[in-house]
């Protein structure tokens, strides 16, 4: 079996690609589906479809990684979470595509309660691409109101706005807290906190410890990004695991992000 955590020296594209970027053909000789820049989120992930992997990282929390071919012809990974709850599992970010979201919906039927709700942590299509499949299955996708505005403006699938989430934080029951720390990778990026397991999903605001650069900064607010990351670090000091939007959960993703921003 191929090394699931291998990393190449391809340049990082961050959020997978720019919003609205076109599909591309895989590089000649590429092993179909496996990341060619960065790596899967963790070791020992189960491959449940050609471009979808899942692993349990804590009681009631699963990490998933999906890949897609981006401009340049390489498979690029993106992470998300599936959180088990009494009222139905919650999907954090919706994958690159409806097919991938459909795969996760089908996989979740093995859980005590399958996916019944989703959230998107910003408007780029690695976070919103699966919304059409979720909507077809009757699963709502919630997001910060600005995410909905930006997704619509860029011709991407549009989630439902959380009406009272105009800043600060929003609790989705006792199991997940969304927090808007300010602009960074995008103007609307939020992080997701699992208080019971003390897992922080940093999304694309936070870079993996193996990221060589900030990657896609087309929609970034570089002047605000460092302060936003510091707010996240101060608020969630109890985090036992920080999951970046792309790449490995190992190391210190927050420290890596601040270091990359200092160089930028």
Tens of pLDDT, residue by residue over 102-150, are 999 999 999 999 999 999 999 999 999 999 999 999 999 999 999 999 9
Helix (H) or strand (E) holding 131: helix 131-136
pLDDT of residue 156: 98
Catalytic residue from among 122, 144, 189, 194: 122
Quote the pLDDT of residue 30.
52
Average confidence (pLDDT) over 210-221:
96
User: Catalytic pick from 14, 15, 204, 241?
Assistant: 204
Domain boundaries, the chain: 46-263
Given 12, 14, 15, 124, the catalytic residue: 124
Going by pLDDT thresholds of 50, 70 and 90, the confidence category of residue 90 is very high
pLDDT at 20 over 50: no
Catalytically annotated residue among 12, 207, 219, 241: 207
* 263 carries an active-site annotation: no
pLDDT on residue 26? 52
**Is pLDDT of 91 > 50?**
yes
Compare 222 and 20 and report the one with higher pLDDT: 222
Most confident of 10-14, 32-36, 207-211: 207-211
Give CATH superfamily name and number for 46-263.
Ribonuclease Z/Hydroxyacylglutathione hydrolase-like (3.60.15.10)
Section 4-21 average pLDDT: 33
- Residue among 12, 93, 126, 189 flagged as catalytic: 126
pLDDT at 185: 98
Long-range contact set of residues 80-83: C-beta below 8 Å, sequence gap at least 24: 80/201, 81/192, 81/194, 81/199, 81/201, 81/243, 82/54, 82/108, 82/111, 82/115, 83/175, 83/176, 83/194
Mean pLDDT of the chain: 90
**Catalytic-role residue among 144, 170, 189, 216:** 216
Residue 160 has a pLDDT of 98
Quick one: pLDDT band at residue 31, thresholds 50, 70, 90? Answer: low
Q: Is 189 an annotated catalytic residue?
A: no
pLDDT-derived band at 19 (thresholds 50, 70, 90) equals: very low
- Assess whether pLDDT exceeds 90 at residue 174: yes
What is each CA distance from 232 to 182, 211, 254, in whole angstroms? 10, 19, 9
Residues near 17 by Cβ (< 8 Å), separated by ≥ 6? Answer: 68, 70, 71, 76, 124, 125, 126, 216
pLDDT tens for 44-61 read 999 999 999 999 999 999
Q: How confident is the model at residue 71 (pLDDT cuts 50, 70, 90)?
A: confident
Reply yes or no on whether 207 is catalytic.
Answer: yes
State the pTM of this model: 0.90
Residue 170 annotated to the active site:
no
Which of 12, 170, 185, 189 is catalytic? The answer is 185
């Amino acid at each position: 079996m191929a090394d699931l955590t291998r990393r190449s020296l391809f340049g990082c594209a961050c959020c997978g690609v720019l919003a609205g970027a076109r599909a591309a053909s895989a590089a000649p000789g590429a092993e179909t589906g496996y990341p060619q820049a960065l790596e899967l989120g963790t070791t020992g992930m189960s491959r449940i479809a050609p471009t979808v992997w899942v692993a349990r990282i804590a009681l009631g929390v699963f990490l998933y990684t999906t890949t897609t071919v981006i401009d340049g012809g390489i498979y690029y990974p993106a992470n998300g979470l599936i959180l088990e709850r009494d009222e139905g599992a919650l999907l954090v970010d919706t994958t690159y595509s409806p097919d991938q979201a459909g795969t996760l919906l089908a996989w979740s039927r093995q859980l005590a309660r399958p996916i019944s709700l989703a959230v998107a942590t910003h408007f780029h299509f690695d976070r919103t691409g699966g919304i059409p499949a979720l909507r077809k299955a009757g699963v709502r996708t919630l997001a910060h109101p600005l995410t909905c505005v930006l997704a619509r403006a860029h011709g991407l699938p549009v989630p439902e706005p959380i009406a009272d989430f105009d800043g600060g934080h929003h609790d989705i029951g006792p199991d997940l807290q969304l927090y808007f720390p300010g602009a960074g990778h995008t103007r609307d990026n939020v992080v997701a906190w699992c208080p019971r397991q003390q897992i922080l999903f940093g999304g694309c605001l936070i870079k993996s410890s193996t990221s060589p650069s900030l990657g896609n900064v087309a929609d970034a607010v570089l002047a605000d990004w460092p302060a936003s990351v510091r707010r996240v670090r101060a608020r969630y000091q109890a985090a036992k695991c920080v999951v970046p939007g792309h790449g490995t959960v190992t190391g210190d993703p927050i420290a890596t992000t601040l270091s990359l921003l200092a160089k930028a």
